[in-house]
Chain A
Amino acid sequence: MVVCFYCYHSGVGEKFWAQIERSSGELKKVRVDCTGKLDILSLLKPFEDGADKVIVLGCPNEECHNLTGSYKAKKRIQYIQQVLEDIGLGKEQIEFITVPRWVGVNA
């Protein structure tokens, strides 16, 4: 299972979801107000619950509604990547994907 946190302000449309679903199989979508609100624990929890991978979809740094949300999320993801590497899961099990803001539902 892949858990995908996505920013409320980002423009993730149907096509984008379809693309992710094709490549990941079972997908659990979790909408957040801003990826900067995701703390380390909330990003680790899915692995505890059996997720194979966690994806965070956030806005470009310079377009973040809360100014530094994406920047903070990336920092936390880097921390978790190191943890996952240390416990042998591999750092590729969590990633941040930048998506443009409000590109429309068909993007």
Chain B
Amino acid sequence: MGHSPSVSGSLRNRLVLSLIGGAAILAVLLFFVVRNYAAQVAQQGQDNILRASVTSILDAAAIREGEVEVDIPYAAFSMLGTASDDRIFHAIYQDARFLSGYPYLPMAAGRGRESTFATVSHQGEAVRVVTASRVLIADGKRTNVRVALAQTQDALSGQLEQISKNAALLGAGFFVLAILLSFWATSATIGQLKRLTDAVTRRGPQDLSPFQKPVPSEMLPLVTSLNSLMGRLDQSLGQSEDFIAEAAHRVRTPLATVRSYAEATLQRLDKEENRQDMRSMMRAIDESSRAAVQLLDHAMITFRSDHLERQDIDLAQLVDELVVRLTPIAEMKDLTLHYESDGPVPYSGDPILIQNAVRNLLDNALKYAPIEGTVTIAVSATPQVVINVCDSGKGFPDGELETLTSRFKRGANAEGTIGSGLGLTIAMDVASAHGGVLKLSNQPEGGACAQLLF
């Protein structure tokens, strides 16, 4: 039957890959967002402590006897204690004059009361430095006290490491979950397609009715097209069936009429010359008639094979009926029809097709068997259902056993015999429609054998 269409990628793979890819991008994004946010919060934590500390130092600044006095509260440094024992540095300035602390400590830019923060390098380490100032007034003179306070970031980077680890875990967990979900979503989606495929596959040979089961909206166009295709197919099949019946009727009847006229005319003709012509004409009519019948048979068989309708039948009985029907023809040719069967042979198949096939084989055998010859028909159920038709004629020409079943192909020894070359083709088509084969062979003692193996 049909050839398999070429495959271009896989919907499932495409869907899974794009979902996983999306999940990977989201996971990485999630990692960076969470880490950045957490880093910001952690940095804010350090900044808040630094601000509180520097504020308490500034609060302790006073002017006494014209001199700036700063009594750093113990808590100011104490609150900067961290688990990682971060180093702290400070510097106190009066206006631009250095008063105490670390003179080379870089200050954060910025003016006014607001605390300003910066991350700078001091003594070879990255430190977070806060700078704040306060105006003191004594004896009507304004003086600006500025304090810078710095802390290393060992605890912070430890915290960040932990946060990064957690964020990475979160991202990885999200990714794994997304992979599982994408597999689930993909198989749920592909499942719908598979269900439709199963529904198409499961259908009987004659079932061309539209699909009624609900499908997802995305698959609606496909199912609609499929339904309309099947509708057209059903219609055209019906048409061709009608055409075959019509053609059979129209061709057979006139030919039969022509032949009866020809036969009547032959009776009236006296001149041997004319009688000869008329016989030739009758032969031609017979040949046409037979060809037409076989052509129609073949068309019918092709149609029925496509829509094989199996019934439980008894092959022995079926063949027996045929033999009975053909016996008169055999006797006209002085042939003996020898029928062998060992009881009923039950088989599930299309009786019309099988009958047709056997009749064609018998026709051939009767045609090619010599006068006073024997045609043997055997039906057996074991070891395999087989119908055997043998004649005592010349046998199949050597080297043509393979090609004889082709349409319109006649054997090299068929000259002088009426035939269309369709008989074996029909038999073979019927056999293969039932899942069987037609086997042709020559008997060693002469004569051709055709075997229908089911």
A and B pair up: no
Interface residues of B (CB under 8 A from A): none
Interface residues of A (CB under 8 A from B): none
